[in-house]
């Protein structure tokens, strides 16, 4: 069985889209997946299954089971690790809560993205790196002060959800712990 990570967008942010993590686990288990673990209370679910999960089916099950309709992205566990390890903006002197990784629902056309993205000069002191599998951002002034306009994110063309690097590292730790257990 392979590990997968589901990232629900906008869950439990302030008072919007409230979902108890026990309810979210029950929904994923109800679809026949195993070893379901939620990470933090922000819509991060690690689970195992033989089949690749269908995002539309999972979204519908979450909506039916919790009353909350949230776009989501599903990433294979190994791919999640690769994206996390490839973060070109990660440095020991940076606050992991101000370093974002945005996960797209499908591979991105980097050339088209860069045409739509603000220039490096317009972003300073922020940093922005786009790859087919993720968009990495260093936001020293915080997420709410980001210089990347909402119109850019709407132009991406697929569902994208972001996690700070502290959360990404927590998800990787769960994946690694599962891999260690499986190796025994």
**Residue at which a domain ends, from 29, 52, 77:** 77
Helix, strand and coil percent figures for the chain, each rounded to 5: 40, 25, 35
- Per residue in 30-74, pLDDT (tens digit) is 999 999 999 998 899 999 998 888 999 999 999 999 999 999 999
Task: Tell me how far apart the alpha carbons of residues 109 and 53 are, in angstroms, rounded to a whole number.
Answer: 23
176 within a domain of the structure (yes/no): no
Output Rg (C-alpha) for the chain, integer angstroms: 16
- Per residue in 78-111, pLDDT (tens digit) is 999 999 999 999 999 999 999 999 999 999 999 9
Residue 183 has pLDDT above 70, yes or no: no
172 within a domain of the structure (yes/no): no
Record the pTM.
0.93
Write down how long the chain is.
Answer: 184
- Per residue in 8-30, pLDDT (tens digit) is 998 876 677 889 999 999 999 99
Cα atoms in the Cβ-side hemisphere of radius 13 Å centred on 10: 11
- Give the residue numbers spanning the domain of 107: 82-167
147 within a domain of the structure (yes/no): yes
Residue 113 has pLDDT above 80, yes or no: yes
Answer yes or no: do 102 and 134 share one domain: yes
**Total number of domains constituting the chain:** 2
């Amino acid at each position: 069985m392979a590990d997968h990570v589901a990232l629900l967008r906008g869950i439990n942010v302030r008072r919007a889209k409230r979902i108890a993590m026990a309810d979210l686990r029950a929904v994923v288990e109800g679809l026949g997946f195993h070893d379901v673990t939620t990470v933090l209370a922000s819509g991060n679910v690690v689970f195992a299954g033989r089949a690749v999960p269908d995002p539309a089916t999972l979204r519908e099950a979450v909506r039916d089971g919790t009353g909350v309709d949230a776009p989501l992205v599903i990433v294979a566990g190994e791919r999640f690790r690769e994206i996390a390890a490839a973060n070109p903006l990660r440095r020991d002197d940076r606050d992991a809560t101000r370093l974002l990784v945005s996960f797209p629902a499908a591979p991105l056309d980097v050339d088209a993205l860069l045409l739509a993205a603000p220039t490096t000069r317009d972003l300073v002191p922020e940093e922005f790196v786009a790859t087919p599998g993720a968009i990495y951002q260093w936001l020293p002034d915080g997420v709410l002060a980001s210089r990347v306009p909402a119109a850019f994110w709407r132009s991406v063309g697929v569902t994208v959800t972001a996690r700070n690097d502290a959360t990404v590292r927590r998800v990787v730790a769960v994946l690694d712990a599962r891999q260690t257990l499986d190796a025994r």
